[in-house]
Amino acid sequence: MNVLKFGGTSIENSRRIRNILKIIRPALEDGPVIIVVSAIRKVTDLLLDAALSACNGDEGYRDNLDRIERLHMGLVDELLEGPAAEETAVGIRDGLAELKDVLHGVCLLRELSDKSSALVMSFGERFSARIISSFLCQEGIAAAYADAREFIVTDTSHCDARVDMTASSRKIRSYFGKTGDVPVVTGYIGAAPDGTVTTLGRGGSDYTATIIGSVLGAREIQIWTDVSGFFSADPKRVRDAYALPFISYAEAMELSHAGAKVLHPYSVHPAMKAGIPMSIKNSLDPQAPGTRIEQVLPTDAEPSKPVTGLSSISNIVLVNIAGSGMVGVPGIASRLFSCLARHMINIIFISQASSEQSISFAINAAQAGRAKKILEEEFAAELKARQIESLTVRRHIAMIAVVGKSMSGHPGVSAHLFETLGKNGINVIAVAQGANEMNISFVIDSHDEDKALNCIHESFLLSQSTVHVFIAGTGTIARSLIGQIREHRENLRRQKNLDLVVSGMANTRMIALDNNGIDLADWEGALKPREGERTIGDYISRIKSRNLHNAIFVDCTASGDVAEAYPELLASNISVVTANKLGMAGSLELYETIDDALHSSNARFLYETNVGAGLPIINTLNDLQSSGDNILRIEGVLSGTLSFIFNELRKGGSFSEIVRKAKEAGYTEPDPREDLSGADFARKFLILGRELGFRLEYEDIDCESLVPESLSGDMGADEFLDRLREVDSTYEQMIRDAAKEGKTIAYAGEIQDGNARIGVKTLPLDNPVAGLNGTENMVVFTTDRYLDTPLVVKGPGAGGEVTAGGVFADILRIASYLV
Ligand X SMILES: NC(=O)C1=CN([C@@H]2O[C@H](COP(=O)(O)OP(=O)(O)OC[C@H]3O[C@@H](n4cnc5c(N)ncnc54)[C@H](O)[C@@H]3O)[C@@H](O)[C@H]2O)C=CC1
Query: Which residues are catalytic, by number?
Result: 684
CA distances from 425 to 171, 255, 262, 334, 602 (A): 55, 25, 30, 35, 6
Least distance from C-beta 421 to ligand LTNE7NMQ, angstroms?
37
Rounded to 5 degrees, φ, ψ at 752 are -150, 135
In the list ligand X, ligand LTNE7NMQ, none, the entry touching 187 (Cβ below 5 to 8 angstroms by class) is none
CA distances from 564 to 278, 381, 597, 625, 792 (A): 57, 54, 12, 28, 33
Q: Which of 411, 408, 369 is nearest to 391 (CA)?
A: 369
Least distance from C-beta 558 to ligand X, angstroms?
4
- Report how far residue 573's alpha carbon sits from residue 550's, in angstroms, rounded to the nearest whole number: 9
Judged by beta carbon, residue 454 or residue 677, the one nearer ligand LTNE7NMQ is 677
- The kind and range of the H/E element at 590 are helix 588-599
Choosing from 208, 465, 557, 777, the residue that interacts with ligand X (CB under 6 A) is 557
Residues in a beta bridge with 636: 749, 779
Judged by beta carbon, residue 444 or residue 613, the one nearer ligand X is 613
Least distance from C-beta 552 to ligand X, angstroms?
16
In the list ligand LTNE7NMQ, ligand X, none, the entry touching 168 (Cβ below 5 to 8 angstroms by class) is none
DSSP assignment letter at 276: -
How buried is residue 700: exposed, middle or buried, by Cβ count under 10 Å (0-12/13-18/19+)? middle
Choosing from 92, 244, 307, 558, the residue that interacts with ligand X (CB under 6 A) is 558
* Cα 632 from chain centroid (whole Å): 47
Binding mask 667-686 for ligand LTNE7NMQ (x = CB under 6 A): xxx-----x----x------
Choosing from 23, 75, 472, 686, the residue that interacts with ligand X (CB under 6 A) is 472
Cα-trace Rg, the chain:
36
By CB under 6 A, residue 642 contacts ligand X: no
In the list ligand LTNE7NMQ, ligand X, none, the entry touching 641 (Cβ below 5 to 8 angstroms by class) is ligand LTNE7NMQ
- For the chain, give the number of residues: 819
- Report how far residue 316's alpha carbon sits from residue 7's, in angstroms, rounded to the nearest whole number: 26
Judged by beta carbon, residue 59 or residue 718, the one nearer ligand LTNE7NMQ is 718
Least distance from C-beta 773 to ligand LTNE7NMQ, angstroms?
15
Q: Which amino acid is at 735?
A: I
By CB under 6 A, residue 803 contacts ligand X: yes
Residues in a beta bridge with 756: 701, 751
- Report how far residue 696's alpha carbon sits from residue 685's, in angstroms, rounded to the nearest whole number: 10
- Report how far residue 620's alpha carbon sits from residue 626's, in angstroms, rounded to the nearest whole number: 10
Helices marked H in 110-138: 114-138
Judged by beta carbon, residue 282 or residue 777, the one nearer ligand LTNE7NMQ is 777
Task: Count residues binding ligand X (CB under 6 A).
Answer: 30
Judged by beta carbon, residue 89 or residue 701, the one nearer ligand X is 701
Judged by beta carbon, residue 220 or residue 669, the one nearer ligand X is 669
Contacts (CB under 6 A) with ligand X, residues 666-685: 666-667, 669-670
Judged by beta carbon, residue 203 or residue 640, the one nearer ligand LTNE7NMQ is 640
Least distance from C-beta 229 to ligand X, angstroms?
45
On whether the CB atoms of residues 722 and 789 are closer than 8 A, the answer is no
Binding mask 395-434 for ligand X (x = CB under 6 A): ----------------------------------------
- Residue 548, CB-side half-sphere exposure with 13 Å CA sphere: 26
- Report how far residue 126's alpha carbon sits from residue 47's, in angstroms, rounded to the nearest whole number: 13
- Report how far residue 64's alpha carbon sits from residue 527's, in angstroms, rounded to the nearest whole number: 46
Least distance from C-beta 506 to ligand LTNE7NMQ, angstroms?
22
Least distance from C-beta 775 to ligand LTNE7NMQ, angstroms?
7
Mutual angle of helices 413-423 and 449-459, in 10-degree steps: 130
SS3 assignment, position 346: coil
Contacts (CB under 6 A) with ligand LTNE7NMQ, residues 641-670: 641, 667-669
Choosing from 20, 548, 613, 819, the residue that interacts with ligand X (CB under 6 A) is 613
In the list ligand X, ligand LTNE7NMQ, none, the entry touching 559 (Cβ below 5 to 8 angstroms by class) is ligand X
How buried is residue 729: exposed, middle or buried, by Cβ count under 10 Å (0-12/13-18/19+)? exposed
Binding mask 576-595 for ligand X (x = CB under 6 A): ---xxx--------------
Rounded to 5 degrees, φ, ψ at 546 are -75, -25
Task: Count residues binding ligand LTNE7NMQ (CB under 6 A).
Answer: 11
Contacts (CB under 6 A) with ligand X, residues 710-749: none
In the list ligand X, ligand LTNE7NMQ, none, the entry touching 670 (Cβ below 5 to 8 angstroms by class) is ligand X
Judged by beta carbon, residue 357 or residue 508, the one nearer ligand X is 508
Judged by beta carbon, residue 363 or residue 613, the one nearer ligand LTNE7NMQ is 613
Binding mask 308-327 for ligand LTNE7NMQ (x = CB under 6 A): --------------------
Residues in a beta bridge with 762: 745
In the list ligand X, ligand LTNE7NMQ, none, the entry touching 508 (Cβ below 5 to 8 angstroms by class) is ligand X
- Report how far residue 421's alpha carbon sits from residue 366's, in angstroms, rounded to the nearest whole number: 28
Contacts (CB under 6 A) with ligand LTNE7NMQ, residues 575-634: 613
In the list ligand LTNE7NMQ, ligand X, none, the entry touching 507 (Cβ below 5 to 8 angstroms by class) is ligand X
In the list ligand LTNE7NMQ, ligand X, none, the entry touching 639 (Cβ below 5 to 8 angstroms by class) is ligand LTNE7NMQ
DSSP assignment letter at 243: B
On whether the CB atoms of residues 353 and 281 are closer than 8 A, the answer is no
Instruction: Check the CA dihedral 586-591-597-602 and report its sign.
Output: positive
Query: Reduced to 3 DSSP states, what percent helix, strand and coil does the chain have, rounded to the nearest 5?
Result: 45, 20, 30
Q: Which amino acid is at 228?
A: S
Choosing from 121, 798, 815, 818, the residue that interacts with ligand LTNE7NMQ (CB under 6 A) is 798
Judged by beta carbon, residue 118 or residue 798, the one nearer ligand LTNE7NMQ is 798
CA distances from 467 to 210, 513, 756 (A): 42, 15, 39
Helices marked H in 601-759: 618-626, 640-651, 655-664, 673-676, 679-691, 717-723, 728-740
By CB under 6 A, residue 459 contacts ligand X: no
Contacts (CB under 6 A) with ligand X, residues 739-798: 798
- Report how far residue 348's alpha carbon sits from residue 345's, in angstroms, rounded to the nearest whole number: 10
Q: Which of 19, 103, 27, 23 is nearest to 60 (CA)?
A: 103
Judged by beta carbon, residue 136 or residue 471, the one nearer ligand X is 471
Q: Which residue is nearest to ligand X (CB)?
A: 475
Q: Site residues (CB under 6 A) for ligand LTNE7NMQ?
A: 613, 639-641, 667-669, 675, 680, 797-798
Q: Site residues (CB under 6 A) for ligand X?
A: 472-478, 506-508, 536, 556-559, 561-562, 579-581, 609, 613, 640, 666-667, 669-670, 798-799, 803
